[in-house]
């Protein structure tokens, strides 16, 4: 009755705030060292592995999913990848992401003869 289900599904909640996004991902029974977090401007990827909680005995019933997991969350707007924080508390990974500030660029408009306006 052993079950190792690769890529089991993580449940997640995403909240938008004026400053950014708060993401909560359920990872019960997963050690902090087994979690990998990757953030791009438009996605958050959480992956890792949950090992069997007990070794060295004959399993009579196994209902807790174990093995590799991965969850990719697409964000509705860009985030600053340098200001991400994550905290694991009671089996819930809380990720805080700040919105990327708009970049203001001045572009000179030229006329015929290459003169700036």
Phi and psi torsions of 113, nearest 5°: 85, 10
Given the structure tokens 């200001």, which residue do they identify? 83
> What is the reported pLDDT for 81?
96
pLDDT tops 90 at residue 97: yes
Task: Report which DSSP code applies to 103.
Answer: P
Residues 6+ apart with CB under 8 A from 55: none
For the chain, percent helix, then strand, then coil, each to nearest 5? Answer: 5, 45, 50
CATH number for region 12-114: 2.60.40.790
What mean pLDDT is reported for the chain?
Answer: 88
Higher pLDDT, 37 or 102: 37
pLDDT band of 2, cuts 50, 70, 90: very low
Residue 44 CA to residue 38 CA, distance in Å, equals 6
What is the number of H-type helices and E-type strands within the chain? Answer: 0, 7
pLDDT of residue 1: 35
98 close to 35: Cβ distance less than 8 angstroms = no
């Amino acid at each position: 009755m052993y079950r190792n289900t690769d890529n089991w599904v993580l449940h997640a909640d995403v909240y938008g705030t004026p400053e950014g996004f708060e993401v909560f991902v359920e990872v019960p029974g997963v050690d902090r060292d087994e979690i990998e977090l990757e953030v791009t401007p438009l996605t958050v990827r959480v992956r890792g592995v949950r090992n069997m909680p007990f070794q060295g005995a004959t399993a009579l019933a196994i209902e807790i999913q174990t093995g590799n997991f991965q969850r990719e969350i697409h964000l509705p707007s860009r985030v600053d990848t340098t200001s991400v924080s994550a905290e694991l508390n009671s089996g819930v990974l809380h990720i805080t992401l700040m919105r990327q500030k708009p970049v203001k660029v001045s572009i000179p408009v030229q006329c015929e003869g290459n003169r700036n306006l």
